[in-house]
C-alpha cells in the first residue's frame, strides 16, 4: 500500500534522499515503523538544535529588542507580562486575519474574536463554562 506524502514547506527531499512528493510505501511492520520514527525523531532533534543555535546567533539583537519593548510596556502600563502576551496574541491574530487571509477566512476569525469578547462581562474573567452554557 502506498500513499502520497506531502512535503513540509521548504523541504524537497526526504531523509532517504527521495523527493517528498514521490509515492512511498507505508511501513506496516511494527519494528520498521519504530525504527523509522526513531530515525526521524533523531534527525528532527538535531535540526531543531541547529535552528536554535542559528536563531541565537543571528536573532539575539531582535530578541533583546522584544524583551526591552515588553519590559517598557509593562512598566508604562502596569499590566502583567502574561496579560500583555495574551492581549498581543489577540491583536496578532486579528492583524494576521486582516492581512494574510482571504476575505471569508478573515471575517470568520474576526467574528470569532467578537464572539469571544461578548462573553466577557465588565470586571469579570472569561468563563468558558458559562460561555458554552449560554451558547447552548
Locate 87 and state its grid cell.
492581549
Q: CA nearest 115: which of 128, 101, 102, 103? A: 128
- E strands, the chain, are 2-4, 23-25
Of the listed ranges 27-31, 47-51, 67-71, the least confidently predicted one is 27-31
pTM of the complete model beyond 0.75: no
**In this predicted model, which residue has the larger pLDDT, 20 or 44?**
44
What tens digit of pLDDT does each residue of 68-126 get? 999 999 999 999 999 899 889 888 888 887 777 788 887 888 888 777 777 766 556 55
What tens digit of pLDDT does each residue of 6-22 get? 445 555 566 566 665 55
Which residue in the block uniquely carries the three cell numbers 451558547?
Answer: 135
Strand partners for 23:
4
Amino acid at each position: 500500500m502506498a500513499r502520497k506524502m506531502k512535503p513540509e514547506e521548504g523541504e524537497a527531499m526526504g531523509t532517504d534522499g527521495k523527493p517528498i512528493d514521490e509515492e512511498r510505501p507505508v511501513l506496516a511492520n511494527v519494528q520498521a515503523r519504530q525504527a523509522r520514527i526513531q530515525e526521524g525523531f533523531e534527525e528532527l532533534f538535531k535540526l531543531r538544535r541547529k535552528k536554535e543555535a542559528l536563531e541565537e546567533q543571528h536573532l539575539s539583537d531582535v530578541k533583546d529588542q522584544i524583551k526591552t519593548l515588553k519590559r517598557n510596556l509593562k512598566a508604562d502600563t502596569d499590566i502583567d507580562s502574561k496579560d500583555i502576551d495574551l492581549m498581543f496574541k489577540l491583536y496578532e491574530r486579528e492583524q494576521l486575519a486582516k492581512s494574510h487571509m482571504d476575505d471569508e477566512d478573515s471575517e470568520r476569525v474576526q467574528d470569532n474574536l467578537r464572539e469571544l469578547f461578548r462573553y466577557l462581562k465588565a470586571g469579570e474573567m472569561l468563563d468558558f463554562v458559562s460561555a458554552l452554557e449560554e451558547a447552548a
